[in-house]
Amino acid sequence: MRRVTRRHKSVAALLLAASLAFGVSACDDGSDNTTSRSRESKARNSNYDQLVARQPAHTGSYSPTRETKNFWIDTWMKSPNKLSYVYIQNANGDYGYFVLKGLPVSYCVSLLPPEVKSRGDLGQYDGDLVVQGPSMDGTYSSGSNCNAYYGKDAITGAYVEFSVGQNQSYFLYDKPLDLPQFENARPLGPSRIADVKDKS
């Protein structure tokens, strides 16, 4: 029994040594990649730190971007009856316009977050997945129709919709403008500028 036990111990020791040697070599192979990535990551961070030290971000006492954002808020978020004037130019250079109550809205805009967290099967374990959530109408939308806009006609309240792209673009103003390019613009919806001039 002792000889068998010793032989088994010797075999086990040999197997253990072989597995350790294989494991070390495998770790060495992986560690080369990890070390390379680590070196490049350190070089990137070091380079960034040097650039920041030489060229730190400047500070200012005034932000024109914040001022313009506040101007947008003051323009569009103070009155529920604010009108918008949407001038559309087609591929031929001709202009038309809509007069809307409020701003035109893209189909990409949603009242709810477009993604929700959900439990799912990840193979060996369950986990959290971020999946597309349904919109308020019970359907799922994609981000591929952001060039379609809709709004509410200023006088009749009719639903209007238009698209941009394909050589068609639009210009949005909070007041009707007396510009040469808009001189022959024709109404594309029920409301005319002349009908709403006192409501702007």
Are residues 73 and 8 both part of a single domain?
no
pLDDT band, residue 108 (cuts 50/70/90): confident
45-75 tens-digit pLDDT: 999 999 999 999 999 999 999 999 999 999 9
In a domain, 75, yes or no: yes
In a domain, 181, yes or no: yes
| Residue 128 confidence (pLDDT) | 78
3-class DSSP assignment, residue 109? coil
Are residues 97 and 186 both part of a single domain?
yes
Are residues 160 and 75 both part of a single domain?
yes
| Residue 164 confidence (pLDDT) | 92
Distance CA 186, CA 194 (A): 12
Q: Choose among 157, 149, 113: nearest CA to 133.
A: 113
pLDDT band, residue 32 (cuts 50/70/90): low
* Rounded to 5°, angle at Cα 68 from 66 and 69: 60
| pTM of the model as a whole | 0.67
In a domain, 118, yes or no: no
Q: Are strands 148-152 and 83-89 parallel, antiparallel or unpaired?
A: unpaired
From residue 195, give the alpha-carbon distance in Å to each of 80, 83, 122.
19, 12, 60
3-class DSSP assignment, residue 123? coil
**Averaged pLDDT, 113-118:** 75
Are residues 31 and 99 both part of a single domain?
no
Are residues 45 and 99 both part of a single domain?
no
Q: Are 95 and 182 in contact (CB under 8 A)?
A: yes
121-160 tens-digit pLDDT: 777 777 777 777 777 677 777 666 789 999 999 999 999 9
